[in-house]
């Protein structure tokens, strides 16, 4: 989180103060993440689910900030999609993102784009093992690009992983064998609002 804003701060110093609005965009979105659903499946498969446990949707909020260089290229970073499982089985996941991309029609109202970056998942809670950073690639469409408010749709793939393990759980159900699995985030899809401050 801190290092991403250091990068953005340095970039903002390279443009005149009155031009910042032309370069900066904020994205507020909701994102579906395949791997979050697999975390829930791991919970059920290992006996950490009750009859009253109705699950959690593999969807979380995202906030990204990007700086556009005016020629189609941009850098971006942010947080999310965040994900929380509560009750008996508690997990909190908050990914940190940083990367670069290219808009194919930067002066138009509608612009397709691609982006490539890295993601590290800050993960805490029951049965969390090692969190390994990965590469994420995505493609999308941004609408009303030159307006104060716009929106976007995006699909992507993310190779970052979380290890789930119950090896050291003294409360593991007797019928549940020791289990360690590595879960990749995998496919993701987002839709959200774009603001030019």
pLDDT of residue 1: 39
Confidence of residue 16 (pLDDT cuts 50, 70, 90): very low
Give CA–CA dist 156/80, Å, rounded.
Answer: 14
Residue 19, domain member (yes or no): no
Enclosing H/E stretch for 4: helix 2-12
Give CA–CA dist 24/197, Å, rounded.
Answer: 7
CATH assignment at residue 99: 2.40.160.20
Residue 90, domain member (yes or no): yes
Of the two residues 48 and 54, the one the predictor is more confident about is 48
Number of domains composing the chain: 1
Domain containing 42: what range?
Answer: 2-14+25-195
pLDDT digits (tens, 9 = 90+) for 74-115: 999 999 998 887 666 678 899 999 999 999 998 888 999 999
Give the 3-state secondary structure of 20-45: HHHHEEEEEEEEEEHHHHHHHHHHHH
Residue 20, domain member (yes or no): no
pLDDT digits (tens, 9 = 90+) for 129-174: 889 999 999 999 999 888 889 999 999 999 999 888 876 665 665 5
Residue 119, domain member (yes or no): yes
Residue 135, domain member (yes or no): yes
Q: Which burial class, exposed, middle or buried, applies to 177 when counting CB atoms under 10 A from its CB (0-12, 13-18, 19+)? A: exposed
- Through-space distance between the first and last CA atoms of the chain, rounded to whole angstroms: 20
Confidence of residue 56 (pLDDT cuts 50, 70, 90): low
């Amino acid at each position: 989180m801190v290092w991403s804003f250091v990068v953005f701060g340095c970039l903002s110093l390279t443009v005149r103060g009155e031009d910042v609005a032309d370069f900066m965009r904020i994205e507020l979105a909701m994102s579906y993440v395949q791997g979050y659903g697999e975390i829930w499946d791991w919970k059920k498969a290992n006996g950490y689910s009750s009859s009253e446990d109705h699950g959690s949707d593999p969807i979380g909020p995202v906030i990204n900030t990007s700086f556009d260089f005016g020629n189609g290229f941009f850098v971006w970073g942010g947080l999310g999609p965040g994900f929380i499982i509560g009750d008996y089985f508690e997990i909190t996941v908050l990914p940190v993102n940083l990367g670069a991309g290219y808009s194919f029609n930067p002066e138009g109202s509608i612009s397709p784009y691609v982006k490539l970056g890295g993601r590290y998942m800050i993960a805490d809670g029951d049965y969390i093992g090692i969190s390994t950073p990965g590469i994420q690639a995505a493609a999308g469409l941004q609408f009303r690009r030159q307006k104060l408010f716009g929106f976007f749709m995006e699909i992507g793939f993310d190779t970052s992983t979380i290890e789930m393990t119950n090896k050291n759980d003294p409360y593991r159900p007797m019928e549940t064998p020791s289990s360690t699995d590595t879960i990749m985030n995998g496919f993701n899809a987002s839709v959200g609002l774009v603001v030019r401050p």
